[in-house]
Copies of this chain bind each other. A is one copy, B any other.
Amino acid sequence: MDIKRLNSTDAGFWSELDQLLDWEGVSDEAVNTTVKNILRDVRTRGDAALVEYTNQFDRMSATGMAELTLDMDRLEAALDNIPAETREALETAAQRLRTYHAHQKMESWSYTEADGTLLGQQVTPLDRVGLYVPGGKATYPSSVLMNAIPAHVAGVEEIIMVVPTPDGEVNEMVLAAARIAGVSRVFTLGGAQAVAALAYGTETVPPVDKIVGPGNIYVATAKSMVFGRVGIDMIAGPSEILVVCDGKTDPDWIAMDLFSQAEHDEDAQAILVSPDAAFLDQVKASIDRLVQEMERQTIIETSLSDRGALIEVKDMDEAIAVANHIAPEHLELSIDNPEATAKQIRHAGAIFMGRYTAEAIGDYCAGPNHVLPTSRTARFSSPLGVYDFQKRSSLIMCSADGASTLGKTASVLARGESLTAHARSAEYRIKD
């Protein structure tokens, strides 16, 4: 298999790296128009439009929303329908996620100044959240846990899940995960019509305050169009892993770690950085041998040859510089003393430290979230967390003395900005 081999000492290395990283989602006018129409239609006609689109796109024959609603008994039944081993694994993962995410919960805070003025922030959960879960082949129960549990830990009262069931096919593991994660209600809806229902509400589907979860281009486009009316999570690009290895990890392990990203889809990006040229050769040999055994061989080969790379660097300092430039979604530090190196990482969605920490463990059950910033957005954004389901209100309570003192400063600044009503409003509170 062909995989790009780069060397940081080559002229043009950084621009070649930038070219490799470059990714822009295509915005298609046809998709935009379709989505715009669906949003308007569901907003206007509510349930009737929802049922029609669902029958059309998912090849269903529902006569009303009752047939597109799953009650709690149905989710309970799903728990019984899946293998005991799977149920136990989901429950273990969920419990670990809850424990980890509880650490993220923000609390209200305030302080009182000498003159009695109180300042702070009050933290509250969102009222109601919508969770989009894709149907068909890319239906991942782990994704249900990762999106719903932080909302549940935050204290969100109602978590509404939508999941399309093309041809009526229901994924039992997904429903079981929903039950475990604390989802309140499930509608078997998908596409832009499901996003519209969550954003605007219909006779049956209550409007939510934020929509999270992955979806295809129609879902992503619909989410960005309803943003502002509701909150949304980041629109994710292709998944990525950057493995930094000192050359002392089993090359088979590293090859499989790269595969675990590459198998997601053809656009996924898996890159290995090492100061050890011979090790890069060994990993290449492992890749060529192991890929033959993989069920998703074609996807892995396309991903690695189109977007993968093996990068030789001078030393670990340069490896860190490359990692900070890439700002990867997943960063594996397969090295000695990973804690010291992790402190030098300024940008990464998640840092997997040491030779034992396979990214796959973090994807499912270590505790941290697997919804992470992609496409270099780790420069300015964070993993999905409890904090995404809470918000803050500033608290200001001036004492009479505080208002008098602060009113004078406010008055000077307001008059400097020619905002006289601001000034006079503050001046009313100044004592003579």
Contact = CB atoms under 8 A, between A and B. Distances in A.
Contact of A372 (B256, B345, B347, B394): B394
Interface in A222-270: 228, 230-231, 235, 250, 252-253, 256-257, 259-260, 262-264
Interface stretch (A44-52, A69-77, A120-128): A120-128
Nearest to A138: B417
A397 interface: yes
B413 A141 contact: yes
A363 interface: yes
Contact of A410 (B360, B395, B397, B424): B360
Contacts of A279: none
A393 B350 contact: yes
A57 interface: no
A407 B358 contact: yes
Interface in A312-357: 331, 338-339, 342-343, 345-354, 356-357
Contact of A349 (B253, B346, B393, B409): B393
A382 interface: yes
Interface residues of A, number: 119
Contacts of A421: 256, 259-260, 262-263, 294, 296, 300, 360
A364 B127 contact: no
A422 to B, nearest CB: 4
A353 B425 contact: no
B382 A392 contact: yes
Interface stretch (A161-169, A178-186, A373-381): A373-381
Interface stretch (A60-68, A87-95, A189-197): A87-95
A92 B407 CA distance: 12
Contact of A353 (B391, B392, B397): B397
A227 to B, nearest CB: 9
Contacts of A170: none
B89 A409 contact: yes
Most buried by B among A109, A358, A399: A358
A364 to B, nearest CB: 4
Contacts of A90: 413
Given A416-B173, A428-B358, A338 B397 contact: yes
B296 A406 contact: no
A41 interface: no
A143 to B, nearest CB: 9
A6 interface: no
Contacts of A412: 85-86, 88-89
The winner among A85, A122, A361, A365 for most chain B CB atoms within 10 A is A361
A264 B422 CA distance: 10
A103 to B, nearest CB: 6
A395 B209 CA distance: 29
Contacts of A424: 256, 259-260
A253 B425 CA distance: 6
Contact of A109 (B103, B394, B426): B103
Contact of A124 (B331, B346, B394): B346
Nearest 4 A-B pairs (CB), nearest first?
A: A231-B380, A356-B403, A353-B397, A259-B421
27 contacts: A88-B412, A100-B119, A103-B111, A118-B353, A228-B235, A228-B377, A231-B379, A253-B429, A256-B424, A257-B425, A262-B421, A263-B419, A338-B397, A347-B391, A347-B393, A350-B393, A351-B395, A353-B397, A361-B407, A362-B394, A365-B406, A366-B398, A368-B394, A368-B395, A379-B391, A381-B391, A382-B392
Given A256-B421, A366-B398, 16 more contacts: A103-B109, A124-B347, A141-B416, A259-B421, A260-B419, A294-B420, A338-B397, A339-B397, A358-B403, A362-B394, A364-B409, A368-B394, A368-B395, A368-B396, A378-B391, A380-B391
